[in-house]
Amino acid sequence: MSYEFCTTEAKDHILTVTINRPERMNALHPPANLELGEVFNAFDADPDLWVAIITGAGDRAFSAGNDLRYQAEGGKRGPIPLGFGGLTSRFNMSKPVIAAVNGVAMGGGFEIALACDIIVASENARFALPEPRVGLAALAGGVHRLPRHIGLKRAMTMMLTGRHVPAAEGQELGFVAEVVPEGEVVDCARRWAAMILECSPMSIRATKEAAMHGLDRAGVREAHEAKYPAVSAMVKSEDYIEGPKAFSEKRPPAWKGR
């Protein structure tokens, strides 16, 4: 499909989504967020797409977050049910998403990255939740996800100051998986996606769903004993038979994702 505020490319079970508002440093307004929600709805529903990558057009910005100019210019504000990038308020998608951060990821842009499963970054990437500096707060999941990713005290050093964190420090803090030279971050994300695709997509979905929803439980025992639909789907799948069979036959598995 053709979109107004992003581009998409589907190849080899991978969907690459590029936020395409470089003149606004890929900042997002309600129409763009709604469109990205549609993009990820379609990704979630497509049985042939197993991993998604999200990035920003150009080399200056992944996303500068909320498009404050749009609001100042009289643009209509409205509900965005699935949040920034169609991801920050999406809690039931078991397919993995990788953020390829090229340039700044500020406010809602950083919150999009935090809503992804893996973050890779170019050397020029910068991360921040600067909302308090303009009288706001990072309420699209940032204040909840960042402490869970890097611990409360380290998260507070970012959230209570709005300071910019470079990619190398993001890797030290633990929310960035890999830092690569400028211009190589999408290729890096595709390498990570390729590693994921070596695994059964049914197992990947079961793993993500159990891990993410298990965090909602009070303790390990409760999380362990809970029922997860993606786990049930995995044990009923063809991949559940194919994996051990391929191992015993000493050949690469032919995953079907069902």
Structure confidence by residue, pLDDT tens digits, 79-108: 899 999 999 999 999 999 999 999 999 999
Look at the block and give the residue holding tokens 């990038």.
Answer: 85
Q: Which residues contact 241 (CB under 8 A, 6 or more apart)?
A: none
Residue-wise pLDDT tens digits, 168-220: 999 999 999 999 999 999 999 999 999 999 999 999 999 999 999 999 999 99
Specify the pLDDT at position 6. Answer: 98
Specify the pLDDT at position 30. Answer: 95
Q: How many CB atoms sit inside 10 A of residue 136's CB?
A: 14
Specify the pLDDT at position 203. Answer: 98
Q: How confident is the model at residue 37 (pLDDT cuts 50, 70, 90)?
A: very high
Give mean pLDDT, residues 234-247.
Answer: 97
Catalytic residue among 4, 23, 35, 131: 131
Residue-wise pLDDT tens digits, 40-52: 999 999 999 999 9
Q: Which residues contact 9 (CB under 8 A, 6 or more apart)?
A: 15, 16, 18
Nearest Cα to 17, choosing from 32, 139, 209?
32
Nearest Cα to 50, choosing from 227, 192, 170?
192
> Is 169 annotated as catalytic?
no
pLDDT at 74 over 90: no
Burial class (CB within 10 angstroms; exposed 0-12, middle 13-18, buried 19+) of 257: middle
Q: What is the mean pLDDT of the chain?
A: 96
Residue-wise pLDDT tens digits, 157-179: 999 999 999 999 999 999 999 99
Q: How confident is the model at residue 2 (pLDDT cuts 50, 70, 90)?
A: confident
pLDDT at 72 over 90: no
Q: State the pTM of this model.
A: 0.96
Nearest Cα to 101, choosing from 125, 67, 83?
125
Catalytic residue among 35, 38, 111, 242: 111
pLDDT at 21 over 90: yes
> Is 131 annotated as catalytic?
yes
d(CA 153, CA 163): 14
Look up residue 121 and give its two tokens: 């970054």
Q: How confident is the model at residue 76 (pLDDT cuts 50, 70, 90)?
A: confident
